[in-house]
Amino acid sequence: MPQIVVLPHATLCPDGAVIEAPSGKSICDALLENDIDIEHACEKSCACTTCHVVIREGFDSLNEAEEKEEDLLDRAWGLEATSRLSCQSLVRDEDLVVEIPKYTINQVSENH
């Protein structure tokens, strides 16, 4: 089973983590199932950027991003060439190294 190495994040995962995820599972679901409470304001429907992650290793093993995801990523804080929405990124057969950005842009909470 592929492993996901989660790099340390000050609030969500201060010590980092190594978790296992079966092929076909989204990175977001794998994180949530392992008590890493990544934000997912749109309930994983590909309608926001709060679950944005940067794939440091294993990017090419993920399913290809669809146009809707790419359009949303253009609005993500800290966008990089290997950025993905974790709710849309499916684990395949390679290990991954994932970084959760320091900030997210939550349109829902910022508009109140």
Domain housing 10: 3-110
Contact 37, 22 (CB under 8 A): no
Token output for 6: 């989660």
User: Per the structure block, which two tokens stand in for 64?
Assistant: 């290809």
Give the phi and the psi of residue 71 in degrees, each rounded to 5. Answer: -65, -45
Secondary structure element (H or E) that encloses residue 109, with its range: helix 107-110
CATH code where residue 21 lies: 3.10.20.30
Total tally of structural domains belonging to the chain = 1
Question: How do residues 60-99 score in pLDDT, each as one tens digit?
Answer: 999 999 999 999 999 999 999 999 999 999 999 999 999 9
pTM of the model: 0.92
